[in-house]
Amino acid sequence: MKSSSVGSALGVVGATICLFAAGCGKQPKNEAASDSARRPGLASRHAHSESQFTFQAPRLFVPSANVAGKDHNDLDYLREWNRFTSVDDYKLTGRTNANWDAKALAALETYAVLRSLPDNSNSDRQRELITEEFRGLVSAALAAGCDDPLVKYLHARLVLSEAKGMTDALMAKSYMDVADALETMPYAPIRKTYVNLRAAQALKASVTNTPPRLMQLRRATVHHLNEALHDQMMPPREAAEVCRQVWNAFELNQSIRGDIEVQLVPTLEKLWPDHGFAHLLKGELLIKKAWDSRGSGYAPTVTEEGWKGFKASLDLAEKELRKAWDLDPKDTMIPISMITICMGQGYPREEMEHWFKRAMEIDPACHSAAYVKATYLEPKWHGGEEDLLEFGRECVTSTKWKGNVPLILAEAHERLVFYEEKDQRASYWLKPGVWEDMRRSYERYFELNPTDISYRHNYAKAAYNCGQPQVFLDQLTRFDGTNYVYFGGREKFDAMIRTAQAKTATK
């Protein structure tokens, strides 16, 4: 269930878009080969503190004759590299036992196949079938007594995470236990990167503060990623994906951004200079640094020094992103980030549209690109109410754009309501035309995504706000469980139902 359409709209862009939320102008009202065993990357089982990290070079991958000379993103090469960092590692250093080895190895072989499927929608059904096969195999391995931490991590990732009644706290405990176990074993750093990342994400979702353990997990993630990137035989697709996931998870934490800058950036500059993702990560880091210099206040509160730092970092970020695009003109994140540059630099609309078009040509369902463009068009930036709504309506009527893109119109109104005085916001939803826009936005979304019921929450709340009680009640019948928090709690939700029922009963 989506907690809010604006919140979920951030998607892969994460909070990068939020960097510019304060805006300016009109404001809202309020691995050479080595078969030697690798040592643990940290000094001890619980040694996730920054003072105890010890760099350990990865066991470098040497491709077999079957894939030697092939592009490193070739699917056969991808599968062999994933076998090397899972199947081969298990044989070399895992907790093997005749009681479960056959099942564990079959599961790891299947996982390597999963990791090497084509990265497109045509493989979705194949991915589902192989994932189900993997779940059966890995569950059988654990049932046979397998206690290998890599096998247990993959079980947690693809089986436990889908279990009924599973919570973020339970997932965090499972991941942390596996992370501790993996640290004592010379498994590939790419696997340690992922288990620490998943543990950090689950722990963050289960707490309201930032416990020391969370920072330890985050730092362990960056540390192991730096180790993993020292294997230049890693498929670039794998390197790009893990860098993106780590950045999206940690970009809001200034301390971890410092770790990324100190550890990852030099490695990327030295070992991956000819790959777009390396320049993209550096560009996104520079965008954050720009905002750190500027501060989050409104434009009149920014110091002269703040503006200078803001401009200098954005200039450097733009150079990195343009270089990234030259190297990889198929990565939607590059034009998405360039739209944020256009916004921060105050570039004319045609330049922003140029990058938006590039993103949508790569992925017609790229909601993140549409979301950043909508931010550019907000009144507090470089557009106005009509610019924003006109674009939102285009997202609904377009026959080219898919996925979540039609929701941009509903989100446009969710943005504009905050330009109203606080005591006038409830009446905004009753303005002429607002309900029609909201209805069209959600109906078009469900037309394109008929099996997705998660946004029924959003549609129901929009209908209630817009004075459409029958539509609100109708949407409730399509819920698969209710996210009461989204409606303000169980009591408020029940009160909304009673209000809607009373209004429909009098008609």
The residue segments making up the domain with residue 463 are 453-507
**Whole-number Å distance between alpha carbons of 107 and 109:** 5
75's tokens: 């699917």
**Whole-number Å distance between alpha carbons of 201 and 192:** 14
Residue 372 lies in a domain: no
Q: Model pTM?
A: 0.86
> Domain ends where: 233, 249, 279?
233
**Whole-number Å distance between alpha carbons of 425 and 415:** 11
Residue 181 lies in a domain: yes
> Domain ends where: 233, 267, 284?
233
Q: What is the pLDDT of residues 419-439, one digit of tens each?
A: 999 999 999 999 999 999 999
Q: 53 φ, ψ to 5°?
A: -75, 135
Phi/psi region, residue 64 (left: phi>0; alpha: psi -120 to 50; beta: rest), is beta
Distances (CA, A) of 362 to 332, 375, 471: 6, 20, 36
Torsion of CA 162, 3, 217, 279, to 10 degrees: 110
**Whole-number Å distance between alpha carbons of 471 and 459:** 9
Residue ranges, the chain, pLDDT below 50:
1-27, 30-51
Q: What is the pLDDT of residues 102-158, one digit of tens each?
A: 999 999 999 999 999 998 777 889 999 999 999 999 999 999 999 999 999 999 999
Q: Number of folded domains in the chain?
A: 2
Quick check: 498 and 472 in contact, CB under 8 A? no
Residue 407 lies in a domain: no
What is the pLDDT at residue 52?
Answer: 65
Residue 419 lies in a domain: no
Residue 99 CB neighbour total at 10 angstroms: 12
Quick check: 14 and 248 in contact, CB under 8 A? yes
Residue 109 lies in a domain: yes
42 strand-pairing partners: 53
What is the pLDDT at residue 299?
Answer: 81
- Select from 96, 91, 140 the least CA-distant residue to 112: 91
What is the pLDDT at residue 177?
Answer: 97
Residue 71 lies in a domain: yes
What is the pLDDT at residue 209?
Answer: 92
Residue 505 lies in a domain: yes
Residue 23 lies in a domain: no
Using a 10 angstrom Cβ sphere, with 0-12 exposed, 13-18 middle and 19 or more buried, the burial of residue 352 is: buried
53 strand-pairing partners: 42
Token pair 């068009």 is at which residue? 377
> Domain ends where: 181, 201, 233?
233
User: In a 3-state reduction of DSSP, which class is residue 53?
Assistant: strand
Torsion of CA 56, 58, 59, 61, to 10 degrees: -170
**Whole-number Å distance between alpha carbons of 241 and 238:** 5
Contacts of residue 255, defined as CB under 8 A and 6 or more positions apart, other chains included, come to 215
